[in-house]
């Protein structure tokens, strides 16, 4: 038997109400902020991710599904920011009046070790806001994330915040960090040894216990916890915190929060749940002011976030499948099929028994799948009427066929 691939899952009909709920709420909440949906292709040129996500990241180095076609290297998107930025540039969206607010949803692909909350094909819903360098945009993007989660009924979540500074002030920090870590270099995991040269900030992100112990040493912590960001970056961060305070958004500062992607500057944030075990992040985001220019566009500041929809789904209470409005109970297949079409034209969701079983069997089925049974017996057909049975209350009445009210 051919089975579903490791790290991938079917989303079965029973789960669909939950997915429709998450998608509808995204549209509803993000629209309130003036965001418009965008859909970009599932595969893009490999180079887009190498340049856009960064070739020092795990995503690009280990996790991409890359293949060749007609001598082109293509990759299934591991995230959607790079694709949205490509589209922003390609479609000249910098000419639109800022801010340009876009949101997306869809499948992403990463070759990682599958475990609870971690798949190889998973779904993200996310937002990108282009064109605003002021911290008002940071506050608004965080608000969009928090309010979306609230709309899903998720309140028990923690927002973590950090500022990575700008390339200038970060350079000084990186140098200091490397200095204090250097004596321990040989004790670090192979990944950290590579990060030490290529992207020292990512050292702080390491999940290996031995590395974490080293980074907990007082002289290293002193550097990590120091306020290294320059005055302008500090001003930006302070204003953001002021806005969040005024909006009653709870957050905590986490100086270890550096985010997996290379392109972030200034604000980075994550939203975590205490009910998810070790894969506890539902949302990751940050500012990426240099990415649009790096990918060949006009210099355009931007900030966004992405949420893992499987992780959201596991936090939301099951949604009940909606019942059909009506099930037609009738032993005359021709009448039944005509009547069903009439009802559907009127906007009523309905089915009838395609195998023409006995009346009682049809009624049993009706009470399982529908809110109302619409009974078309010989008498009803002759008089152009129908008997409506409310399957919750068992109330029953006979009405004209053109006067059906299923409230």
State the pairing for strand pair 324-330/281-287: unpaired
Report the C-alpha gap between 274 and 276 in whole angstroms: 6
Q: Could you give the string, one character per residue 23-62, with x where binding to ligand ATP holds by CB under 6 A and - elsewhere? A: ----------------------------------------
Instruction: Select the residue interacting with ligand ATP from 143, 154, 180, 281 (CB under 6 A).
Output: 281
Strand order in the sheet with 385-390: 350-352, 324-330, 370-376, 385-390, 396-400
Query: Is residue 282 a contact point for ligand ATP (CB under 6 A)?
Result: yes
Sole binder of ligand ATP in the list 23, 27, 112, 342 (CB under 6 A): 112
Tell whether the torsion through CA atoms of 102, 106, 112 and 118 is positive or negative: positive
Considering only residues 38, 40, 75, 79, which one is a binding residue for ligand ATP as defined by CB under 6 A?
Answer: 79
CB of 115 to ligand ATP, least distance (A): 9
Sheet strands side by side (includes 65-69): 43-45, 72-76, 65-69
248 phi/psi in degrees, rounded to 5: 60, 35
Restricting to residues 294-313, which ones interact with ligand ATP according to CB under 6 A? Answer: 306-308, 310-311
Position closest to ligand ATP via CB: 308
Per CB under 6 A, which region of 144-152, 233-241, 275-283, 356-364 contacts ligand ATP? 275-283
Residue of the chain from 279, 294, 314, 367 that contacts ligand ATP (CB under 6 A): 279
Which lies closer to ligand ATP via its Cβ, residue 7 or residue 377?
A: 7
Can residue 124 be called a binding residue for ligand ATP (CB under 6 A)?
A: yes
Residue 107 binds to ligand ATP (criterion: CB under 6 A): no
**389 touches 395 (CB < 8 A):** yes
User: For the chain, what is the total number of helices (H) and then of strands (E)?
Assistant: 15, 16
Which residue number, 285 or 297, has a Cβ lying nearer to ligand ATP? 285
What number of chain residues touch ligand ATP (CB under 6 A)? Answer: 19
Question: Does the footprint of ligand ATP cover residue 125 (CB under 6 A)?
Answer: no
With contact defined as beta carbons under 8 Å apart, do 269 and 142 qualify? yes
DSSP per-residue letters across 27-41: HHHHHHTT-EE----
Residue whose token pair is 């690009």: 60
| DSSP letters for 277-317 | TTS-EEEEEEE-TTHHHHTTS----EEEEEEEHHHHHHHSP
Q: Rule CB under 6 A: is residue 284 a binding residue for ligand ATP?
A: yes
Question: Which of 170, 175, 139, 292 lies closest to 233, judged by CA?
Answer: 170
Q: Beta-strand (E) ranges in 209-251?
A: none
Helix (H, G, I), strand (E, B) or coil at 395: coil
Does 191 help bind ligand ATP (rule: CB under 6 A)?
A: no
Among residues 106 and 117, whose Cβ is nearest to ligand ATP? Answer: 117
Residue 17 makes CB contacts below 8 A (sequence gap 6+) with 319, 320, 321, 322
Binder of ligand ATP out of 101, 110, 170, 241 (CB under 6 A): 110
Please choose, out of 67-75, 86-94, 112-120, 156-164, the segment that lies near ligand ATP by the rule CB under 6 A: 112-120
Kindly tell me which of 159 and 386 has the beta carbon lying closer to ligand ATP.
Answer: 159
* Measured distance CA(311)–CA(314) in Å, rounded: 5
Cβ-based nearer residue to ligand ATP, 105 or 241: 105
The mark string for 214-253 relative to ligand ATP (x by CB under 6 A, - otherwise) is: ----------------------------------------
| Binding status of residue 127 toward ligand ATP by CB under 6 A | no
Binders in 253-272 for ligand ATP, by CB under 6 A: 260
Binding site for ligand ATP (CB under 6 A): 79, 110, 112, 117-119, 122, 124, 260, 279, 281-284, 306-308, 310-311
């Amino acid at each position: 038997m051919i089975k579903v691939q490791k790290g991938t899952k079917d989303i079965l009909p029973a789960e669909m109400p939950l997915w429709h709920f998450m998608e509808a709420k995204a549209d509803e909440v993000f629209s309130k902020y003036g965001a418009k949906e965008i859909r970009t292709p599932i595969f893009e040129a490999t180079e887009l991710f190498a340049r856009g996500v960064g070739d020092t990241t795990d995503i690009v180095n280990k996790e991409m599904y890359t293949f060749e076609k007609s001598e082109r290297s293509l990759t299934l998107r591991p995230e959607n920011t790079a694709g949205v930025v490509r589209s922003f540039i390609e479609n000249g969206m910098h000419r639109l009046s800022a801010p340009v607010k876009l949101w997306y949803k869809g499948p992403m692909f990463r070759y990682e070790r599958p475990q609870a909350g971690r798949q190889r094909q998973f779904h993200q819903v996310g937002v990108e806001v282009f064109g605003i360098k002021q911290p008002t945009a940071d506050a608004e993007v965080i608000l969009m994330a928090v309010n979306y989660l609230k709309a899903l009924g998720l309140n028990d979540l923690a927002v973590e915040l950090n500022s990575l500074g700008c390339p200038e002030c970060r350079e000084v920090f990186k140098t200091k960090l490397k200095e204090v870590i250097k004596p321990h270099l040989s004790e670090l995991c192979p990944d950290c040894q590579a990060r030490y040269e290529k992207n020292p900030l990512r050292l702080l992100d390491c999940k290996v216990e031995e590395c974490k112990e080293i980074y907990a040493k007082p002289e290293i912590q002193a550097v990590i916890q120091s306020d290294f960001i320059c005055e302008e970056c500090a001003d930006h961060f302070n204003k953001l915190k002021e806005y969040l305070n005024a909006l009653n958004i709870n957050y905590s500062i986490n100086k270890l929060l550096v985010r997996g992607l290379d392109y972030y500057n200034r604000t980075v944030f994550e939203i975590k749940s205490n009910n998810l075990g070790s894969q506890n992040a539902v949302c990751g985001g940050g500012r990426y002011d240099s990415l649009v220019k790096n990918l060949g566009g006009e210099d355009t500041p931007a900030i966004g976030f992405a949420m893992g929809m499987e992780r959201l789904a596991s936090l939301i209470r099951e949604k009940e499948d909606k019942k059909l409005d009506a099930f037609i109970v009738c032993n005359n297949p021709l009448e039944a099929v005509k009547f069903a079409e009439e009802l559907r034209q009127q906007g009523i969701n309905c089915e009838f028994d395609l195998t023409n079983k006995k009346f009682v069997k049809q009624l049993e089925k009706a009470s399982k799948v529908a809110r109302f049974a619409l009974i078309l017996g010989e008498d009803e057909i002759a008089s152009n009427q129908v008997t409506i049975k409310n399957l919750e209350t068992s109330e029953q009445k006979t009405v004209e066929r053109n006067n059906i009210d299923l409230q």
